[in-house]
Amino acid sequence: MTVEAKRLVTEKPLSAEQRSLTVSNLTFRYENTAEDILAQLDLRIAPGEKVMIRGKTGAGKTTLFKVLTGLYGCRPFSRGFVSFSPQKPLLLPAPLEENLDPYRLFPAEVVQDYARRFSANEVGRLSYSEQLRVNMYRDELYGRNGVIIYDEPGEDICKDATCLIVSHHGVYEANRRY
């Protein structure tokens, strides 16, 4: 498996030319299963491009994104950043700033600027709408420095980000669809 991600985490957004994702010969199999869920997958996402992957339940769409983001215990590339934006708000039992920047990649003042936009500093006190905004702002922070992977997103897809979109239906604007 070879995955190359040409992205850096910086205080300022990277230019579109500096963001891309290339996956070569990616294969993944769950433990105790005989068949590969992903077999010899090749994928290239150009800087600023939005790629949508559609398919039936169980086809491996979400598995692909979880592998790419390291949610299955491995990070398949050595540099750059891929952010995963799930269907529902994904919040840590931690302060708001840590939810906005869980990897602590941005200067504190940048994260605090985002945190000031909320009514509370504890995620347990945020409304559902505010919880969705936490995800959206985290996507905005990380998306300017890498690739965002959306799993059945709402309407709040970062406009300038390089994106992979997984969906059961094709209602999202994308450069390519699979």
pLDDT tens by residue, 25-52: 888 889 898 999 888 888 888 877 888 8
What confidence score (pLDDT) does residue 112 get? 92
Q: Please give the pLDDT value at position 34.
A: 92
d(CA 10, CA 141): 10
**76 vs 9, higher pLDDT:** 76
Domain boundaries, the chain: 2-87+138-177
CB hemisphere CA count around 66 (13 angstroms)? 14
Neighbouring CB atoms inside 10 A of 68's CB total: 24
- pTM of whole model > 0.85? no
CA dihedral in degrees (42, 57, 134, 164; nearest 10)? 20
DSSP assignment letter at 140: H
Q: Report the distance separating Cα 30 and Cα 153, nearest Å.
A: 25
Q: Strand, helix or coil at 25?
A: strand
Instruction: Tell me the residue type at 28.
Output: F
pLDDT number for residue 151 = 76
Type of residue at 175: N
Q: In the CATH scheme, what is the code of domain 2-87+138-177?
A: 3.40.50.300
Most confident of 1-5, 18-22, 117-121: 117-121
The predicted pLDDT at position 145 comes to 63
